[in-house]
Amino acid sequence: MPQEPWAQDSATLAGTGPLPPHEMMKDMARAWFEALRDQLCATFESIEDGQSGPLSDRPAGRFVRKPWSRPTDTGDEGGGGVISVMQGRVFEKVGVNVSTVWGEFSPEFRASIPGAEQDPRFWASGISVVAHPQSPRVPAAHMNTRMLVTTRGWFGGGGDLTPMRLDAPEAVEDAASFHAGFRAACDRHDPAYYDQYKAWCDRYFFLPHRNEPRGAGGIFYDHLFSGDAQADFSFTQDVGRAFRDSYAAVVRRRMAEAWTPAERDQDHIPTILWSDPRVPDRGAARAGTGLDPLPALVRGLRGLQVAGCGAVAVPCNTAHGWIDGMRAATRLPILHIVDAAAEELRRLGIPPGRVGVLGTAATLAMRLYQDGLDGMGWSCILPDQATMDRLVTPAIAMVKANRVAEAYVSLAEAVTLLARQGAQAVVLGCTEIPLGLAAGPAQAVPVVDTIDALARASIRWASEA
């Protein structure tokens, strides 16, 4: 079996004269970092292939590589590297990058680099990894290792783990196994290494302004030259292998666990609720028998604006009859409930065609959904007046009185009548109707809870803002 180029006997690396032994290790170091890159990319792609949990309906990610060259002031060649990036169903984004560069340090920088004060020329090769998973239950991670050569030579690097919730039991377990991998790598070379390099990492990643660590830590080392360059190179290789195996094990342990984007209180979207029963009845106003609710709605909008809201969702369907006046009175975007309903129809796979709409008499009379959905390809089927009088309007009153079981019977019949007329789905354009239908078995056709749809639209807005 041919010998790998980075596994040569240390006797061939002794070197002579003023050059450090690392000078003769350049090709081996570069070959190792690129080989580790290939191993990590293969490991991460294998993890993508093995996902059977959340987001497994998406295609497995694959790395895309892009070479780059290092520019120099003189126009001479300065080396370069290859960026390898993957976006997938386990990893939101992971980069595994290698580079080998050379040149001269600037005059103001030379004094801070060992060996550069005598001769500003340098050579450096290394690998850097940053992994950000999709799931908040899978910790993010970072690793880099490198070799630098001036008139001196040394190795450096390390790796660390950043869970979403540092004190969660699963995060404690993951940190223990991750650290065990690094401890084993360190102990193979020097029993003092792990404690020394762990402490260095803990100091490096401590956040003094918050008086807390950035994550679960790992190890960090730099300017390593023990007097045996080959031994230091071997240690650096073992650090890379430990990260490869330990982090992959953590990811595989957690990637199939169910999750939502909000895994703790602090992950939820900041929300301010304005609910004022003194707002005049919107149905009565639409019928011409009640006061105009717009002044009260505008007062509420201005209060939300002062409170720091970035957008407004109005769950009252009938209040959308005054949405133009509300939008004119505030700089805040107001999410439209009909747009949210349309997005939910698309999410459910309902093609353009006939859909039913249930709502209050006022909502149906103002043609909120008929005009809105018609422009997007759906034609609306409405209950006739007899159905409104016998089923829908009494059911809405029952929900308001907390008689949801009775309301269910009437609302389910109303949905069935719309389905018989060809409705592919039924849009529930009233806050009370979804509550009534939730009190019994599911319907034969999909129903769109417009309040849920508006909540999803609000989450999308907050996520993209």
Question: What is the rounded radius of gyration, in angstroms, for the C-alpha atoms of the chain?
Answer: 32
Note the pLDDT of residue 76. Answer: 85
Torsion of CA 223, 226, 229, 231, to 10 degrees: -120
C-alpha 293/C-alpha 271 separation (Å) is 23
User: Which positions ≥6 away from 371 have C-beta within 8 Å?
Assistant: none
Catalytic residues: 142
The one-character DSSP state at 392 is I
**H-type helices in 144-228, by residue range?**
169-187, 193-204
End-to-end CA distance of the chain: 57
Listed as ranges, residues in the chain with pLDDT below 50 are 1-17
3-state class percentages of the chain: helix first, strand second, coil last, to nearest 5: 45, 20, 35
Helices first, then strands: H and E counts in the chain? 16, 15
The answer to whether 144 and 126 are in contact (CB under 8 A) is: yes
The answer to whether 101 and 124 are in contact (CB under 8 A) is: yes
Domains located in the chain, CATH noted: 5-254 (3.40.1500.10), 272-311+322-332 (no CATH), 335-464 (3.40.50.1860)
pTM: 0.65
Task: Determine the distance from the C-alpha atom of residue 145 to the mean position of all C-alpha atoms in its chain, rounded to a whole number.
Answer: 27
Token look-up 């004022």 returns 276
C-alpha 258/C-alpha 416 separation (Å) is 35
Q: What is the largest CA-CA distance in the chain?
A: 102
The answer to whether 68 and 82 are in contact (CB under 8 A) is: yes
In the numeric block, which tokens belong to residue 195?
């404690």
What separation in angstroms does the CA of 52 have from each of 59, 156, 164, 170? 11, 37, 22, 20
C-alpha 371/C-alpha 380 separation (Å) is 9
What separation in angstroms does the CA of 109 have from each of 23, 105, 112? 22, 6, 6
- Cβ burial, residue 426 (10 Å; 0-12/13-18/19+): buried
Note the pLDDT of residue 2. Answer: 35
Note the pLDDT of residue 447. Answer: 97
What region, left, alpha or beta, does residue 72 occupy, with left being phi > 0 and alpha being psi -120 to 50 degrees? beta
